[in-house]
Structure 1
Amino acid sequence: MLSFFFLTTCCAVFAQEKQDVAAVDKGVTKVSVMYPYAEGKTFNMEYYESKHMPMVAKFLGSNLIKYTIEKGVASGIPNQPLPFMAIGTFYVKSLSDYQAAIAPNRDAIRADFQNYTNVSPVILVSEVVK
């Protein structure tokens, strides 16, 4: 009975994850904020997850479809340094609305960096094609 419950729960979680991935449609703007790894650099994931990303998400309002947070764990090449310590991604309906929401809050967003990292992020804005 316990294994049936476990299997049912795992299937439900997988179905939800698959649905979340499918929720991002072609043409959506993706803003990736990537924090490069370097010796001596730090990143407070707990603060980033609980304070910084929710703050930025509030600024984006109804334009925000969803956001994700990734923690870097390894390079794609064995025995090579990690390329990024973390990546925060915002999926938004409109790039111009994103820019309009961020512009008046840019100073607050940048001032908050010191609370979780000593790294300058690299930002990539892209369009989801599939």
Structure 2
Amino acid sequence: MKSKLILSLLLLSTFFTAFSQEKTSQNTKTTIVEKGLIKVSVMYPYAEGKTFDMAYYETKHMPMVAGYLGENLVKYTIEKGLASGIPNTPLPFMAIGTFYVKSLSDYQAAIAPNRDAIRKDFANYTNITPTILVSEVVK
């Protein structure tokens, strides 16, 4: 009986060690892949009387812009603002769309000829002028 218990504990220990190493390995891969990417954050500030159609943004606008970016695009995300980080204060952003791209110059080259179409589409989902931040992922 004692040997079965020891064997069971040894197997459990091996399982958890293997699982832990696999998870660490996956996290490391993610960090390595994302470091150095260019992140373009398109932030839509909250203000009284402003509107935002998330369904349109998710199904029409972001896929349209992503299509312009082609192979340079690694991924994009869409965030819906829920609350401020400080209780009882206004929501800072109604939404944030983020593009992760390999090259800033390729991003700019893809957006430049399509800038008017992108801006014209704003009227289909919002009356907010977005704030755009371009940054580099460091970790």
Give the TM-score range, shorter chain.
0.7 to 0.9
Calculate the TM-score normalised by the size of structure 2. Answer: 0.78
* Counterpart amino acid of residue 124 in structure 2: N
Structure 2: distance between partners of 1:115 and 1:25: 32
Residue 93 of structure 1 corresponds to 102
Structure 2: distance between partners of 1:77 and 1:85: 16
Structure 2: distance between partners of 1:22 and 1:46: 29
Structure 1: distance between partners of 2:104 and 2:78: 20
Residue 104 of structure 1 corresponds to 113
Write out per-residue CA displacement over residues 25-69 of structure 1, whole angstroms, 9 at most, x where no aligned residue.
Answer: 211000000000000000000000000000000000000000000
Structure 2: distance between partners of 1:51 and 1:22: 28
Structure 2: distance between partners of 1:25 and 1:40: 37
Matched, 1:22 2:30: yes
Write out per-residue CA displacement over residues 81-129 of structure 1, whole angstroms, 9 at most, x where no aligned residue.
Answer: 0000000000000000000000000000000000000000000000000
Calculate the TM-score normalised by the size of structure 1. Answer: 0.83
* Counterpart amino acid of residue 61 in structure 1: G
Structure 2: distance between partners of 1:83 and 1:53: 21
Unaligned runs of 5+ residues in structure 2 are 1-22
* Counterpart amino acid of residue 35 in structure 1: Y
Determine which of 45, 69, 81 is the counterpart of 1:36.
45
Alignment of 1:41-60 (within 5 A): 41-60=50-69
Residue 72 of structure 2 corresponds to 63
| Structure 1 runs of 4+ with >4 Å offset | none
CA RMSD of aligned residues (A): 1.7
Q: Percent identity among equivalent residues?
A: 80
**Offset, 1:22:** 2.1
Unaligned runs of 5+ residues in structure 1 are 1-14
Q: Indicate the structure (1 or 2) with the bigger Cα radius of gyration.
A: 2
Structure 1: distance between partners of 2:52 and 2:101: 25
Alignment of 1:69-84 (within 5 A): 69-84=78-93
* Counterpart amino acid of residue 109 in structure 2: A
